[in-house]
Chain A
């Protein structure tokens, strides 16, 4: 598996009906790395992800994969290179884990072609990577939230794409499952070289797991780069309208954002002027 694919947005303007969500955005996704998109609610994070995976047609500009416009690529061909796990996928009633993961093989199968050994191997590899082998014959309905999310990731893995886009893969999960899912995605990135692009709500988890952060503010690119250059008090104030304090995360060495609200703030603590942490 190679990681030489390049994915970039050029002068991208996106919107629904009468509303413009993203305006004239340029960005490039670094191949073989973990990129996390952060920003306030309704700033266009999910919209951007949808456009990058061809679910949404841009009003202006284009999304380019390996020099070709994604909206011009044949659907199946694109789906063999770029996978997307949307925010709220639906599991058909009663479907088993193995069958659901097997649906990830769709872009690799022809109209009438039979199930191949390669398909079985891909499903097995996806189950192993996500630690869901023992769940294979269980019905998806019976699983816990964390297990279910791992199964959906397994389905996206069975698609065997070099690029994987995920829209808030940790929503509805408790703390331990959030970490579990993000560790799993990091494993994938490190062992297979899969390029990962995801939207995350939690700034601190984003800063910890991202190689590269993309910060959006009101439909425009605010800043982009390594977490310690992007996650600053100025950024938190502009994007979220929130005062904060940024320290070095004693666990990871990455930046850690501590919000300053109106209550439970010790005397003498004030929003610090911007200073690079560490």
Chain B
């Protein structure tokens, strides 16, 4: 039996199309503006500092030419630092919003639920206590990040994972791991304060290419993995059952997404330390400016990159003494965390 169905009215189709195009072009505009801002901040942080170099010099250094003075300051000091800021910021933002989307809770970002702390503690032990190489540090950080993710997930598992339980367990694990980091640093008497800050709040001080390259490689490899899962993530936002009904292999998607996001966090943390609250802040900021209903992966990554670039610049030059980037992002992030908890509390949610 076949039933003849008349199609929808042309006016409705046109209204649907217009609404969709309007929302999509807003998102495109937001992505474009954010990308331009990241480039602008990147260029500015290469030009300005204790000494100023014109754009011309900076471009020549980046192109590989030898410019007296600028080659050292810009090429060896500022460039790796700025690139690390972009790479780590993008990784934190991307991985953070992935977790927030998947667990349907803005508090479920990897820096709140202990994954960053795990990677950081492992990196601190590897570097300070065991004096391992950069590669070994990264590997250990990734393994620790995945282990913590697995631990938090399985401790929170009872007839499926409920966001709130996972977050509370994660906060506990996170506090425990932070104390491990503090202990390791306190035992290393000769360790200087700047380096210690890197493992406590995140810092870009002394960033060199040996640290930047593994983090950048991780972003190039794992970033696209997450981006291709974007649509599945959007479907999973509607609940696991709805997502399955829409043809998403939920378990497979979830494992792929968790491994990729934890990998990004761990590599970025091994390079820059657990830069406070960037993973947590980027997603909600991106959601506010890009509007809801669309994949936030790219906007959140860009917001993360911009946050770390600007915060690092502010930390270096805005005050009398220099502060590591994590101190600045921490000052921004903590009030937002409180605001979020107060707001959900007022709305009647428990978390």
Chain A residues with CB below 8 A from B2, complex form? 1-3, 193
Chain B residues with CB below 8 A from A124, complex form? 8-9, 12-13, 15-16
Q: How far is the CB of B106 from chain A (nearest CB, A)?
A: 9
Any chain A CB within 8 A of the CB of B60?
Answer: no
Task: A128 to B241: give the CA distance in the assembly, Å.
Answer: 25
Q: How far is the CB of B236 from chain A (nearest CB, A)?
A: 10
Chain A residues with CB below 8 A from B20, complex form? 98-99, 102, 115, 120
Residue of A nearest to B234 (CB): A103
Any chain A CB within 8 A of the CB of B206?
Answer: no
Task: A171 to B242: give the CA distance in the assembly, Å.
Answer: 17
Q: A89-B242, A106-B234, A106-B235 are in contact. List 14 more A-B contacts (CB 8 A).
A: A32-B1, A54-B244, A55-B244, A86-B239, A90-B238, A103-B234, A106-B248, A117-B17, A121-B13, A123-B16, A124-B8, A124-B13, A133-B12, A139-B292
Any chain A CB within 8 A of the CB of B19?
Answer: yes
128-185 of chain A: CB within 8 A of chain B: 128, 133, 136-137, 139, 156, 159
The contact size tier of chain A is: 35 or more
184-243 of chain B: CB within 8 A of chain A: 228, 231, 234-235, 237-239, 241-242
Ordered by A's residue number, 7 sampled pairs between the chains whose C-beta atoms are within 8 Å are: A79-B246, A85-B242, A89-B241, A90-B237, A90-B238, A102-B20, A136-B15
Chain B residues with CB below 8 A from A212, complex form? none
Residue of A nearest to B246 (CB): A106
Q: Is the CB of B1 within 8 A of A3?
A: yes
Residue of A nearest to B242 (CB): A89
Which 4 residue pairs of A and B lie closest in terms of their CB atoms, listed nearest first?
A: A79-B247, A94-B292, A99-B293, A86-B241
Q: How far is the CB of A156 from chain B (nearest CB, A)?
A: 8
Q: How far is the CB of B251 from chain A (nearest CB, A)?
A: 11
Task: A32 to B249: give the CA distance in the assembly, Å.
Answer: 28
Q: Is the CB of A111 within 8 A of B228?
A: yes
Any chain B CB within 8 A of the CB of A252?
Answer: no
> Measuring CB to CB, which residues of chain B are less than 8 angstroms from any residue of chain A?
1-3, 5, 7-9, 12-13, 15-17, 19-20, 23-24, 104, 228, 231, 234-235, 237-239, 241-242, 244-249, 287, 291-294
Instruction: Give the residue of A76, A85, A90, A159 whose beta carbon is less than 8 angstroms from that of B104.
Output: A90
Q: Is the CB of B12 within 8 A of A103?
A: no
Q: Is the CB of A83 within 8 A of B245?
A: yes
Task: A2 to B247: give the CA distance in the assembly, Å.
Answer: 21
Q: Is the CB of B238 within 8 A of A91?
A: yes
Task: A93 to B104: give the CA distance in the assembly, Å.
Answer: 9
Residue of A nearest to B228 (CB): A111
Any chain B CB within 8 A of the CB of A265?
Answer: no
